Amino acid sequence: MSRIPQEPGIADTDVAQPTATVTRELDLFHEEPKTFAKRLLEYPGNRCEIIVGDARRVLHDFPDSYFQCVVTSPPYWGLRDYGIDGQIGAETSVDAYIEDLVRLFREVRRTLVDDGTLWLNIGDSYTSGGRTWRDADEKNKGRAMDYRPPTPDGLKPKDLIGVPWKLAFALQADGWYLRTDIIWNKPNCQPESVKDRPTRSHEYVFLFSKSERYYYDGQAIMEAAQDPKQKAKNRRTVWNINTEPYPGSHFAVYPRALIQLCVAAGSRNGDRVLDPFFGSGTTGVVCNELGRNCIGIELKPDYAELARERLLKGR
The pTM for the full model equals 0.83
- Main-chain dihedrals φ then ψ at residue 171, nearest 5 degrees: -70, -40
For residue 228, pLDDT over 60 is answered with yes
pLDDT of 10 strictly over 70: no
Is residue 62 within 8 A of residue 302, CB to CB? The reply is no
Compute the distance between CA of residue 306 and CA of residue 281 in angstroms, rounded to an integer: 8
- Of the candidate ranges 14-18, 36-40, 217-221, 244-248, the one whose mean pLDDT is the lowest: 14-18
Q: Looking at residue 11, what is its pLDDT?
A: 42
pLDDT tens digits, one per residue of 235-292: 999 999 999 876 655 456 889 999 999 999 999 999 999 999 999 999 999 999 999 9
Which of residues 313 and 131 earns the better pLDDT score?
A: 313
135 confidence band (pLDDT: 50, 70, 90): very low
Q: Does the pLDDT at position 229 exceed 50? A: yes
202, 253, 198: which is closest to 80 by C-alpha?
253
What is the average pLDDT value for the chain, to the nearest integer? 83
Range in 59-63, 64-68, 142-146, 299-303 the model is least confident about? 142-146
pLDDT class of 44 with cuts at 50, 70, 90: confident
Question: Is the Cα torsion angle 135, 139, 276, 212 positive or negative in sign?
Answer: negative
Top-confidence residue, 278 or 89: 278
What pLDDT was estimated at residue 201?
95
Q: Would you place residue 91 in the very low, low, confident or very high pLDDT band (cuts 50, 70, 90)?
A: confident
d(CA 202, CA 200): 6
Q: Which residues of 123-141 are buried (b: 16+ CB within 10 A; e: fewer)?
A: bbbbbbeeeeebeeeeeee
pLDDT at residue 147, as a whole number: 58
Evaluate if residue 180 carries a pLDDT over 70. yes
- Give the number of C-alpha atoms closer than 13 A to the C-alpha of residue 7, restricted to the C-beta side: 12
pLDDT score for 65: 98
Q: Is the pLDDT of residue 26 over 80?
A: no
Q: Give the pLDDT score at 307.
A: 93
Q: What is the pLDDT of residue 314?
A: 82
The region of weakest confidence among 69-73, 259-263, 275-279, 301-305 is 301-305
Q: Kindly indicate the confidence band of residue 41, based on its pLDDT and cuts at 50, 70 and 90.
A: confident
pLDDT (mean) for 217-246 = 93
- Sorted by where each starts, the structural domains of the chain and their CATH numbers stand as 19-313 (3.40.50.150)
DSSP 79-123: T---S-TT-TT--SSHHHHHHHHHHHHHHHHHHEEEEEEEEEEE-
283 vs 290: CA distance, rounded Å? 11
Tens digit of each residue's pLDDT (9 = 90 or more) over 111-125: 999 999 999 999 998
